[in-house]
Structures are given as C-alpha cells and as structure tokens.
Amino acid sequence: MLFRTRDCLAFLDFVHASPHVAECHRISGEHSYLLKVVTESTRALEEFGNQCDKYGTYTILIVMSSPIDHRNLIPSLEDARMVD
C-alpha cells in the first residue's frame, strides 16, 4: 500500500496498533509511506483501507506473481564464509 498522509504522527500510531501491518517504510516522492499489509481476504483489505481514509489517501497494490524472488543485498555471514 502506498500512502500519502496528512498527519504522520496519528498515522504512525494507527499502523503500530494494527495487526495487519507487517512492514512500514518512510519513502520519498509523491507518497509518504510504503506499507506491507497482510489480511485474510480482499474484503478485510478493503476494511483496512476504509480505516485508513481518515489519515490520508492511498493506493493498494496487490502482488500477482513474483518473477524475481527476494534477494539479499548484503551477503549473509554464511554466504561470506563460503567464498573464503
């Protein structure tokens, strides 16, 4: 979810209290925050969005597939030992 807030402190209080927010990142550009939101259904996601309405505007992005899986940008200690 991309979020543009009118009140950062109130919004952050809301996301800290929400069991649906798995990650929250402050970003630059048109939006203020990038959230990873996990719900049990699209209906629950819609309800979460409705709760967000009082804090600003948002765009919900739904992952359809992941052609490139997560990559570590910094090698783990185990990976570094394998190179030695």
The pLDDT tens digits of the residues spanning 12-61 come to 999 999 999 999 999 999 999 999 999 999 999 999 999 999 999 999 99
Whether the pLDDT of residue 8 is over 80: the answer is yes
Task: Give the residue with greater pLDDT, 70 vs 46.
Answer: 46
Phi first, then psi: what are they for 77, rounded to 5°?
-60, -40
Q: Is the pTM of this model over 0.75?
A: yes
Query: What pLDDT is attached to residue 74?
Result: 82
Q: Is 11 exposed, middle or buried (0-12, 13-18, 19+ CB in 10 A)?
A: buried
CATH class of this structure's domain 2-59 = alpha beta
Contact 45, 60 (CB under 8 A): yes
Structure tokens at 59: 């765009």
